[in-house]
Amino acid sequence: MAYEAVKVKKPLTLILLPIISVLTFFLVWELIVEFDVVPKTMLAAPTQVGDRFIDKLSDPNPDGGTMAAHAWVSAQEAFLGYLLSLGIGLPLGLFMGWFSVVRGVARPLFELVRPIPPIAWIPLTIFWFGIGLWGKVFIIFLGGVVPCVINSFVGVRMTNPTLIQMSRTCGASDWQIFTHLCVPSALPMVFGALQIALACCWTNLVGAELLAADQGLGYMITMGRRLALPELVVLGMVSVGLAGALIGMVIETVERRLLSGIRR
Amino acid sequence: MDSAAINPEDRPTKIDVKSLTKRFGDLLVLNDISFNVAQGEFLAIVGPTGCGKTTFLNCLSKLMPTSAGDIFVDGEVADPKKHNISFVFQEPTCLPWRTVRRNVAYGMEIKRYPKEKINQRVDYMLDLVGLTDTQDLYPNQVSASMVQRITVARAFAMDPDLLLMDEPYGQLDIKLRYYLEDELIKLWQTLKSTVIFVTHNIEEAVYVAERVLVLSNKPTKIKAEVKVDLPRPRKLIDPEFVALRKQVTDLIQWW
Ligand SMILES: Nc1ncnc2c1ncn2[C@@H]1O[C@H](COP(=O)(O)OP(=O)(O)OP(=O)(O)O)[C@@H](O)[C@H]1O
Ligand SMILES: [Mg+2]
């Protein structure tokens, strides 16, 4: 009675459609700029952005850093902030879900802080950390920690109560139920949090860099505006988008591997 | 081939239920219930729907506090941390993130049995219930009947002092049920566990048990006790079987 995964064959049209839609998008974009439907001072054509990209690979001008330098700074900030939000948010949410003492202490504080948009913390952050790395890490952390807490909390709360009863009859302690039952059954939600938190972190990264930075992809966008170089702005936006999508894909792959048993 | 060579009355008492009473607010559900279960006995409990069978098992397993009365295992107040009380629930309770094998091992891991003992025991149980070939699959990859066999195997694997079963086969079709009931009897005969089996299916109760307790409507008391002293394997068309089944049916209908 061996189990075999059912393989669904994708029809050719389903494979072609996304490619066609993306190509059309870029083509229309190029034409719009080419024929001055939108003035060149307001939008750059994809080819210009491409040229600028090749330029920026080696040339730190006009904004003071090569592509790699900006990307590296942003990646560092995002990565640290993201890790910090996972490291604090996930355990906090999981504990809040199962242990009523933790819930009682942390929930009201969390609900109080949660509605404040991370960007609103920027002034205070500049007082505390200046415009260096850690200030932005802090903003990014604030953005990412909220979905981490909420998702892992909800994941634990959704643990099947009959499974908890079953474990109790086996003589399981609260801690055993937490580790053997609540945490694994919260995993799908936790993986959801990895994705959502990443999106939040990345968004807040750009926000933080727009206002307080001297390097990074967000800073590149700001400089593009100041120097009136639309292709630099678009290049910054595209890089942020692509990098975000790439990390998202990596997380999804890892998730699918780890959850193969739970997902059908 | 009756494994219980000695009469239940002559075996030592394993479980002693004394004046078990349960109220939900004003609603008196279990009304001063007392009975004994002998070591290695297979006891079935039947009763009308909603009479409090699940509540009764929840109290026995200490999932719920009782309003009065208590349950004793070997003369001591029952305690899930000390005694092995296994529960097979009405609904399947496999952990979806554990393979079949690790599901069977779950109870023993909670009890912190040594690894070797767990492995040995799991191998033995998987063999008994015929899940050896599927041991590395996840519960969502096996059929519904296998899922219930996993939980039954897990319950027996803990070598329970008391095994509680709450209509474990209620959701399965008849043919499968007969098959699993036979398997359950085989497990019980091999492992000599003490079993309390709750069902609202009278035929099932008379088929599997050595003794049947008939519960009344709420407030629930034990209305009658019927000994089933038929040889195994039992035949559903055996006149004696039919007579016993009818006796229990009549008892339930008298309210
Ligand atoms: N937590 C609870 N709070 C209040 N009343 C409850 C609770 N649990 C059960 N009851 C009541 O106790 C009675 C017995 O319920 P129980 O689930 O034990 O019946 P049952 O015999 O198992 O029924 P079934 O045959 O449908 O499984 C019902 O009338 C129910 O309404
Ligand atoms: Mg019930």
Per-residue confidence in pLDDT tens, chain A, 264 aa: 445 556 667 788 888 898 999 999 999 988 888 888 888 778 888 888 888 888 888 887 777 788 888 888 888 888 899 999 999 999 999 999 999 999 999 999 999 988 998 888 888 888 898 878 888 899 999 989 999 999 999 999 999 999 999 998 888 899 999 999 999 999 889 988 888 898 888 888 888 887 767 888 888 888 888 888 888 888 888 888 888 888 888 888 887 877 765 554
- Cβ-count burial B198-217 (b if 16+ within 10 Å, e if not): bbbbbbbbbbbbbbbbbbbe
Please state which of the ranges A3-7, B80-84, B110-114, B224-228 shows the lowest mean pLDDT: A3-7
Pair B228, B151 in one domain:
no
Pair B28, B108 in one domain:
no
Pair B190, B236 in one domain:
yes
For the Cβ of B22 lying below 6 angstroms from any atom of ligand 1, the answer is no
Residue A11 falls within a domain, yes or no? no
**Looking at residue A249, what is its pLDDT?**
86
Domain count, chain A: 1
Which residue range(s) make up the domain with A253? 86-112+121-264
Please state which of the ranges A72-81, A162-171, B70-79, B226-235 shows the lowest mean pLDDT: B226-235
**Looking at residue B245, what is its pLDDT?**
85
Domain count, chain B: 2
Token pair 């097979």 is found at B88
Task: Give the span between the Cα atoms of B47 and B30, in whole angstroms.
Answer: 12
Per-residue tokens: A49:
């952005």
Residue A190 falls within a domain, yes or no? yes
CATH of the domain at B56: 3.40.50.300
Task: Give the span between the Cα atoms of A162 and A146, in whole angstroms.
Answer: 29
CA angle A115, A117, A120 (to 5 degrees): 125
Q: What is the number of residues in chain A?
A: 264
Phi, psi (rounded to 5 degrees) for A51: -60, -45
Nearby residues of A22 by Cβ (< 8 Å), 6 or more positions away: none
In the predicted model, is pLDDT for residue B3 greater than 70?
A: no
Which residue range(s) make up the domain with B63? 3-83+161-253
Pair B22, B140 in one domain:
no
Pair B99, B207 in one domain:
no
Asked if the C-beta of A258 comes within 8 angstroms of chain B's C-beta atoms, the answer is no
Nearest CA-CA distance, residue A64 and chain B, Å: 51
Is B91 in Cβ contact with A162 (below 8 Å)?
A: yes
Mean pLDDT of B133-160: 87
In terms of average pLDDT, the best of A150-159, B42-51, B152-161, B236-245 is A150-159
Residue in B200, B215, B203 with CA at minimum distance from that of residue B246:
B203
Token pair 């494994």 is found at B3
**Looking at residue A106, what is its pLDDT?**
92
Residue A75 falls within a domain, yes or no? no
CATH of the domain at A211: 1.10.3720.10
For A104-115, write each residue's pLDDT tens digit.
999 999 999 889
Q: Which residues of A touch B107 (CB under 8 A)?
A: 170
User: Which residues on chain B place their C-beta less than 8 Å from a C-beta of chain A?
Assistant: 58, 61-63, 80-82, 84-87, 89, 91, 93, 95-99, 106-107, 109-111, 133-134, 137-138, 140-143, 158, 164
Pair B123, B245 in one domain:
no
Please state which of the ranges A34-48, A105-119, B52-66, B196-210 shows the lowest mean pLDDT: A34-48
Is B110 in Cβ contact with A167 (below 8 Å)?
A: yes
For A37-84, write each residue's pLDDT tens digit.
888 778 888 888 888 888 888 887 777 788 888 888 888 888 899 999
In the predicted model, is pLDDT for residue B2 greater than 60?
A: no
Pair B52, B76 in one domain:
yes
Using the 3D structure, point to which of B140, B160, B180 is the last residue of a domain. Answer: B160
Residue A37 falls within a domain, yes or no? no
Neighbours of B255 (CB within 10 A): 9
Is B95 in Cβ contact with A163 (below 8 Å)?
A: yes
Mean pLDDT of B1-25: 75
**Looking at residue A264, what is its pLDDT?**
42
**Looking at residue A20, what is its pLDDT?**
92
Nearest CA in chain B to A175: B110
Pair B166, B182 in one domain:
yes
Pair B75, B7 in one domain:
yes
pTM score, two decimals?
0.80
Is A261 in Cβ contact with B98 (below 8 Å)?
A: yes
B42-46 vs B27-38, strand pairing mode: unpaired
Residue A239 falls within a domain, yes or no? yes
In the predicted model, is pLDDT for residue B32 greater than 70?
A: yes
Distance B215 CA to ligand 1 centre (A): 14
Pair B249, B170 in one domain:
yes
Pair B73, B98 in one domain:
no
Distance B86 CA to ligand 1 centre (A): 20
